Amino acid sequence: MRVRFAPSPTGALHIGGARTALYNWLLARGSGGAFVLRIEDTDRERSTPENVAQIIDALEWLELDWDEGPFSQAERRPRHEEAIRQLRESGHAYEHEGATRLRVPDEGRTVVRDAIRGEIVFEHSAIDDFTIARSDGSPLYNLAVAVDDIDMRITHVVRGDDHISNTPRQLMIMRALGHEPPAYAHLPLLHGPDGKKLSKRHGAASVQALREAGYLPEAVRNYLALLGWGYDDTTTFFTTEELIERFSLERVSKSPAVFDEQKLRWMNGRYLRELDVGELRRRLERLLGRELPREAVAVAQEKMQTLADFWPLAGFLVERRDYDEKAWGKVMRDGAVENLARAREALAGTEPFDTKHVEETLRRLVDELGVKPKDVFQPIRVAISGTTVSPGIFESVATLGRSETLARVDAALRRAGADQA
């Protein structure tokens, strides 16, 4: 099996394109075949080196390695021009107003045997002779794709179903050149939860956006694989090795798949919590560009769904933050300051200052004061984190340590005193 991923370099790699690349890669790896990367860069205005680099960057982040390429379609123009001459000399194509058109038979049909959709029939009477080269001799898309697929010995073309209308034209060109076409499989397009074609309004619509949002490549691969394919009705989590072993075109759905970022967040959270703390720390440091205490990473891991969740959730364990005024106003009232002062006194005498003993101290204080746990815990949380959202309060206090915790509580008490004055 020889498959190819042939994106047009028009910017960041769209999630739909990433799924197409993944399916082709899984087929190649599962069959022991070859995964070919070809850049459809005949539109020179849009095909900038920066856009090509974005595609390479996205595939590398997804860890989808290719066996051959990347080939530039534009650099293959001499070969395309040779094929155009061959088609004209054989009578399969002719000149019209300077351009070159392929002759489409008046009668008959072209049948595409699609691995996902079954037979798709195109009546020749509905297809006009179509242009394969401009008047300046430059090849058009369908000609270039057909020639490249022949030369690169592609056995299976797996791409989005927005290409279905191109397929009969490419088959005609291949057969006119004396070659039998590859097998085809057209993937249903991706939709957002609202049923409309996936776009930026649905959230992260590109691979780069997913990376910046803190998703893990292994979670993205797992989720993308399930957008239109399933091994059975119950299995959701697959290792990459399991995907390679089990993926097949026969189980790809004909219906559009829904990209739901909330489901991806949930799946990513599962992957994230299964990471070794050291590995999670390494990935966080790479995303944030700064060193992080291992203890802070360990404390935050359980509540994170993406790497980007770490800083708003647990950044206070790395550096002090200003108080969120809304959180301060909501919590620091109705006896909260007195409770915080009592908590400070209790924590000052806690020994050893670890999660277990911090929890015992604070729960004992709750009982002594006869209040609800949140009446003690929330003032401490605002004092040390600046807000009402944090990892577990006992773990957070222990991770900060006695000295820093007391210093932050003292600062909060001074602020409260100043407010009351």
Burial of 72 (0-12, 13-18, 19+ CB in 10 A): middle
Q: Are 307 and 283 in contact (CB under 8 A)?
A: yes
Q: How many Å apart are CA 287 and CA 275, to the nearest integer?
A: 16
What number of residues does the chain have? 421
Q: Which two structure tokens, joined as six digits, stand for 418? A: 């100043």
- Selection from 35, 106, 104, 29 nearest residue 70 by Cα: 35
Q: Are 388 and 381 spatial neighbours (Cβ–Cβ below 8 Å)?
A: yes
**Are 190 and 259 contacting, i.e. CB atoms less than 8 angstroms apart?**
yes
Q: CA 204 to CA 213: how far, in whole Å? A: 8
Nearest by Cα to 206 from 224, 184, 225, 230: 224
CB 173 within 8 A of CB 142: yes
**303 among known catalytic residues:** no
Contact (Cβ atoms closer than 8 angstroms) between residue 189 and residue 195 = no
User: What six digits make up the tokens of 379?
Assistant: 């003032």
DSSP string, 121-137: EEEGGG---EEEE-TTS
Catalytic annotation, pick one of 200, 254, 330, 356: 200
Residues with a known catalytic role:
200
